[in-house]
Structure 1
Amino acid sequence: MRDLVYPPVIAFARTAFKVLDLRFLMSGTEHVPRTGGAVIALNHISYVDFVIGGYGAYPSGRRVRFMAKEVLFRNRFSGPLMRGMHHIAVDRSAGAASYREAIRYLGEGEVVGVFPEATISRSFELKEFKSGTVRMAAEAGVPVIPMILWGTQRMLTKDHPRDFSRHRPVSITVGAPITVTPEDDAVEATAHLRTTMAGMLDQTIRAYPEQPEGAWWLPASYGGGAPTPEEAARLDQEELDRRRTRQTKGGAD
């Protein structure tokens, strides 16, 4: 796949990392295959997860093609970049097209990045997973590579102002490849992936060098001030309701 946009974007991101003096705590990056197709499954806690998650594949020399909301491709600023890096637009009203494009990418030996939770987790713990991740890996005959990000929520996430302070630790934990076949039950395989990533997330949080009690970016179950999963679900629903109200009013004008 011809890449004219991705290399300069990577160079810009690496320069930004140096300017911010981010302290990357990376482990298991050797699990990202250097050749061939693979699906990278990531937790989702920040708007910068695309950038940091892509960096997790950098040691293996791979460029990740992320599945992302179609609205990002229509934006006059992000659109040219998303298309130029050959990311995959996801239109939730017509998801089959993006699914087929991801399968095609995997068949061509590309690495596709997927957020099985679909949206950012306000609790910073794992939400329920969609089964598309394991289904596409099974159909394409490629492994699923679990990846956990931590610390990115401190930069830019929902309900909090952006904060790109310097010297911040950022964790990237990559797990061993998970094999999924067409004969496997997609629900069970998805549950296994979520359980695996939940264990990785717990280890990553506990190994993170900063654990201030009551911190807004730390999950409630770890003594932090983040919403519980139940509170986060309520906030998600309220956000969805507001969006639907705006769409209804817009359609009525």
Structure 2
Amino acid sequence: MPVRRLQQPRGWAWTIAVAILKPVLLATTRQDWHHGERIPATGGVVLAVNHTSHVDPLTAAHLVYDHGRLARFLAKSGLFRNRFLGFFLRAAGQIPVERESHGHAAYAAAVDAVRAGECVVVYPEGTITRDPQLWPMTGKTGAARIALETGCPVLPVGQWGAHELLAPYSKRPHLFPPTTIHLSVGEPVDLSDLAAGPVTTEVVHAATERIQAAIVAEVEVLRGEKAPAERFDLRRARAAERAAREAQESERLEDRDQKQDTGDGGDTP
């Protein structure tokens, strides 16, 4: 039974999604939810959640729905390119994120949704964590910017267990025995001092760090262990990978040129 009954209209897309997906989730997962009552019954709010599996949105939506709200996700635009899936997602109020536009349209849509009293779910990492132990990575600024623009509460949500139901980037779910999904909703992140002044780049990054730290704290409680002192930085890791590839290519070309100079790399007259 839901903890708090839904008060807002579902619409046809949510009616179909709940009829199909909720029985599947109830059959394949067990719910270990903490402090879901902190999700406000009404009004605009942002839930900021860590990301470990492609099934995360389903388990998060389950938590939100059973606490009387409909979740509006910022989802990759590729999902909307399929004619039928895109039609369904838009009907369910989901928000496409276009990478080429640097998220400007998605940000504006999310702000409008919050101002309209919706519950918007954001994954600040932007993608499934690449941390080897699946700890939250450094966060992007979307959740912070939405909160600073609208003044809405930001609730950090730690989740653990979805990766056991569907491993990162896997296509084969582990359906039985049922996986326990741990979700913990934290107290609203205090951004009042940051919202009092101009919204500068420094302010946005400070707000982002507070939100991400609050998410990590919730995950630490669920996992019963401390997170690494330094969060995995995906941009830095990708830059290091690019540098390594470029160094390898440079070394390969240099080796080829040396062989050609000494006559070892091609035909000799």
Normalized against structure 2, the TM-score is what?
0.74
Aligned pairs, number: 223
| Correspondence list, 1:72-91, <5 A | 72-76=79-83, 78-91=85-98
Could you tell me how far 1:170 is from its partner in structure 2?
1.0
Q: What percentage of residue pairs aligned between the two structures are identical?
A: 30
Cα 1:101–1:159 shift into 2, 3 Å: closer
1:40-88 deviation line (CA, Å, top 9, x unaligned): 1010110011111111212321001000111111124532321121100
1:149-190 deviation line (CA, Å, top 9, x unaligned): 211112224354523322211111111122434336222221
Cross-structure match for 1:168: 179
Find the residue that maps to 1:57 and give its secondary structure: helix
Question: Retained in 2: the 8 A contact 1:72–1:78?
Answer: yes
Equivalent of 1:8, from 5, 16, 19? 16
Question: Retained in 2: the 8 A contact 1:150–1:170?
Answer: yes
Cα 1:93–1:84 shift into 2, 3 Å: same
Find the residue that maps to 1:60 and give its secondary structure: coil
Find the residue that maps to 1:4 and give its secondary structure: helix
Cross-structure match for 2:105: 97
Find the residue that maps to 2:210 and give its secondary structure: helix
Cross-structure match for 1:196: 214
Cα 1:19–1:237 shift into 2, 3 Å: farther
Residue identity in the other structure for 2:187:
A
**Max radius of gyration: which structure?**
2
1:190-216 deviation line (CA, Å, top 9, x unaligned): 111111111111111129xxxxxxxxx
Question: Retained in 2: the 8 A contact 1:69–1:91?
Answer: yes
Equivalent of 1:113, from 121, 134, 137? 121
Could you tell me how far 1:116 is from its partner in structure 2?
0.3
Equivalent of 2:141, from 125, 128, 131? 131
Considering only aligned residues, what root-mean-square deviation do their CA atoms show, in Å? 2.9
Cross-structure match for 2:205: 187
C-alpha separation in 1, matches of 2:168 and 2:155: 26
